[in-house]
Homo-oligomer: A and B are copies of this chain.
């Protein structure tokens, strides 16, 4: 659920999306498959995801470097899922690539 104990600097892909009203077919299965597939990619560090009851969601995947993100973006099966997402599943999305410079965890007082 949490991506824990990662040591900056590393990279985050922040994907915010609003699900379309229709088009539930295969969405959950594909989202789970993409999370499982991402976890097999070189440079993958973790993933966090939450979607509310109105269909607005944020998924953040964490990566060692920009090259890892490029490889994940270029993965064939991921590309096919992205195409379906654009066509069927998302009313709107924003995707941002960011470099994490510092991180803290709590409330236990751990930090990295």
Closest CB in chain B relative to A51 CB, distance in Å:
6
Per-position contact with B for A91-110: 1 when CB-CB < 8 Å, else 0? Answer: 01111111111111111100
Copies of the polypeptide in the assembly: 2
A57 touches which of B3, B50, B86, B87 (Cβ 8 Å): B50
A53, CB-defined interface residue at 8 Å: yes
Cβ contact within 8 Å between B101 and A95: no
Closest CB in chain B relative to A90 CB, distance in Å:
6
A27, CB-defined interface residue at 8 Å: no
Cβ contact within 8 Å between A101 and B98: yes
Chain B residues with CB under 8 A of A35: none
Known: A2-B94, A50-B57, A96-B102. 12 other contacts (CB 8 A): A2-B92, A12-B14, A12-B98, A14-B60, A48-B94, A60-B60, A93-B105, A93-B107, A94-B104, A98-B99, A99-B99, A99-B101
